[in-house]
Chain A
Amino acid sequence: MITPENVLRHELIGRNVLVVHATNPAQEGISGMIVDETKSMISILTSVGLKHVPKKHTIFRVTLPDRVQVELLGSTIIGRPEKRITMRIRK
């Protein structure tokens, strides 16, 4: 179960996401499904193609399976996807 408490350690692939804020103004408002994740980048499949958004200094709004929306600070999910499970969460 993906909950707002463990979303930082859980799988992001397959979740619908909206880029609320990004340092690149052209990337604000990108919405779609996350299809891939690297250490510092998230690939979003939108209706107009695949977009790559950096995690750093970006705010994502992620829709969880139970339709709860959470806002994630991209800087907190920096790290390889398999390593995020054991990651320490900083305030």
Chain B
Amino acid sequence: MGEKFRSGNGKKIARERIDILFHYARLWAGEDRKRSRSCILLARRIAMKQRIRIPKRYRRQFCSNCTIFLVPGSNSRVRIQHGKVIVTCLDCGHTMRYPVVKQHAR
């Protein structure tokens, strides 16, 4: 236990915690947005503290400006324009642009 246990398991626990937090952020997105948002804020703080990236499957699910959970059609608009996916957060008006790229063959 002690030192070795701490350094070895921190990132693994952090990934599991991010999974749990995004699960509840999605669950509470409809009923209590403040609570849902605080889950994402905590997930981001954990990721920063442990120096891991938010997994790709979650990265587009929240607004990078106000960290609210985005539900397309409800509080976000998704459009394709000029070869980019443009996601607009309808809460704060922030737009996020993601390039449309072909998946590279491995």
Q: Do A6 and B13 form a contact, CB below 8 Å, given A13-B39, A14-B24, A36-B35?
A: yes
- Closest partner residue, chain A, to B47 (CB atom): A82
Please measure, in the bound complex, the distance between the C-alpha atom of A81 and the C-alpha atom of B20, giving whole angstroms: 13
Q: What's the minimum C-beta distance from A35 to chain B, rounded to whole angstroms? A: 6
Contact yes or no, B20 A36, CB < 8 A: no
Chain A residues lying within 8 Å of B1, measured Cβ to Cβ, are 89
| Total A-B residue contacts, Cβ distance less than 8 Å | 48
Interface residue tally on A, bucketed by range? 10 to 19
Set of chain B residues within 8 Å of A88, measured between Cβ atoms: 6
Q: A81-B42, A82-B45, A85-B50 are in contact. Are A11 and B16 (CB under 8 A)?
A: yes
